[in-house]
Amino acid sequence: MRPLHKLLMVPILGLGLAAVGLTTASADPSKYDFHAGDGFGPLEEPDVASASDGATITIEATGSFHVTSGKASSTLGTFVHRNADGSTAGSGTFTVTSLQSFAPFGCGVAGGQPVPSNLCGGYAVFSVHVVGHPASGGTEEFNAVLGVDCVLGDHVPPGAKEGIVFDVPGLINFDTPVSGETVFVIK
């Protein structure tokens, strides 16, 4: 009876180990810090995006998020909005209030070359609350959407572009990354 018991246990144990291995290998981290134009490590700063009318937004932001719960927070992000002619339209601060979505691209690889395994790529979309100061004076508060795209990883989709986008619905959409670098760091 013992040899039969051992023979039956080997396939069962093997299936169990394979299932654990598959779960571990395919599981993405769920807690990250993000850095956009804030000078983290060797990242280029700040991040700049442009709108269709030639206006630009320059941002610096740092924060954290949890993929499963959608919770997100940030230290105070800063921005400067410039008109197409380069004049300042306004500036201010923003705070990340929640994570709308996150698509991971992988970790530990940049352009096929190894980087530290805790540095990851992906595309995150955050809800933000803005406190702006128009150049004409005063203070305005409104909600906006910040997109952060980092092209690290081994699953970067075609067309992904390093940088940020910033949409103020109904007002202006800075939907073209111009310069800067971003990164997601596993917590």
Give the 3-state secondary structure of residue 3.
Answer: helix
Instruction: Determine the Cα–Cα distance for residues 5 and 122; give it in Å rounded to an integer.
Output: 47
pLDDT of 143 over the 70 cut: yes
Is residue 93 within 8 A of residue 142, CB to CB? The reply is: no
Is residue 152 within 8 A of residue 123, CB to CB? The reply is: no
* Radius of gyration, CA atoms only, the chain: 21
Residue 148: the pLDDT is 98
Tens of pLDDT, residue by residue over 98-132, are: 999 999 999 999 988 999 999 999 999 999 999 99
Give the residues across from 62 on adjacent strands: 35
Is residue 175 within 8 A of residue 164, CB to CB? The reply is: no
Give the residues across from 119 on adjacent strands: 185
Of the pLDDT bands very low, low, confident and very high (cuts 50, 70, 90), residue 34 is very high
pLDDT of 24 over the 90 cut: no
Residue 29: the pLDDT is 83
Which range, of 8-22, 119-133, 149-163, averages the lowest pLDDT?
Answer: 8-22
- Find the mean pLDDT for residues 7-36: 51
The percent of residues above 70 in pLDDT, for the chain, comes to: 86
DSSP string, 102-167: EEEEEESEETTEE--TTEEEEEEEEEEEEEEEETTSS-EEEEEEEEEEE--SS-PPTT--SEEEEE
Q: For residue 129, give both structure tokens.
A: 């609350």
Tell me which residue has tokens 């993000």: 34
Residue 5: the pLDDT is 30
Residue 27: the pLDDT is 56
Instruction: Determine the Cα–Cα distance for residues 157 and 115; give it in Å rounded to an integer.
Output: 19
Of the pLDDT bands very low, low, confident and very high (cuts 50, 70, 90), residue 76 is confident
Of the pLDDT bands very low, low, confident and very high (cuts 50, 70, 90), residue 74 is confident
